[in-house]
Amino acid sequence: MPYVTGGYPGVDAGLLRRLEAAGADAIEVGIPFSDPVMDGGVIQEASAEALRGGARLTDILATIQEAATHVPVAVMTYVNPVYRHGIGSFLDDATAAGVAGVIVPDLPVDEFTELEGAAAERGVDAVLLAALGTATERLGEIGRRSRGFVYCVATYGVTGARERLDDTSRGVVEALRAMTDLPLLVGVGIGTPSQAAEVCAFADGVVVGSALMARIVASDLDGAVDLARSFRAAIPT
């Protein structure tokens, strides 16, 4: 599941279609926010540049609608843009654009009810995140209430490619296996196809963002697509 920052130059409908053609099983599109607390330097830079260029939530949704991919598209953003737009209005616009899922990493499970209900009414999957160190009871609640998949955080800290993977992701996935039948996707820190293959030995998939966005920020769109293709080739079908 490749991640790209919506509104950044070059992240258009054509790029989303190219990522689909490269083998993406789903695509995550970030809606930029001025304080992206989960994101590391590469995606922070991309978000800031997108905002400087005037990107708005509705622009990113229009790009997704124009792309009309055959694979699901999830949007990732933060609480502030969702509440400013209005939860119902945000989800109505997302649904009209063909968005299949929403990820709001700074919305914890105990404050999730309003978004959860509104998304369910519209047939949109509201995805929750799980991290190592989460209490067992809370982890179980995340497994029960997430929809589409559970986003398992691979390491402590913000997004960004790492030279080596921590063992934390395996612990999160193994703990959740007994608690949910949803696919368990691992993200944060996966920088190479070999790391993705390593993770997919115990998880159901990976989310890859910073490694791809680093190529896009370097104005190498072809390189980003080629890298996405390499990630897909490294992962068992």
Mind telling me the catalytic residues?
28, 39
Task: Give DSSP secondary structure letters for 169-221.
Answer: HHHHHHHHHTT--S-EEEESS--SHHHHHHHTTTSSEEEB-HHHHHHHHTT-H
DSSP code for 2: B
SS3 (DSSP) at 4: strand
Distances (CA, A) of 7 to 32, 101, 120, 165, 200: 8, 18, 27, 30, 30
> How far is Cα 79 from Cα 60, in angstroms, rounded to an integer?
16
What's the Rg (C-alpha) of the chain? 16
> How far is Cα 191 from Cα 50, in angstroms, rounded to an integer?
23
> How far is Cα 64 from Cα 198, in angstroms, rounded to an integer?
31
Strands 73-76 and 184-187: unpaired
Instruction: Find how far residue 144's CA is from the centre of its chain.
Output: 19
Distances (CA, A) of 200 to 118, 169, 172, 230: 32, 11, 13, 14
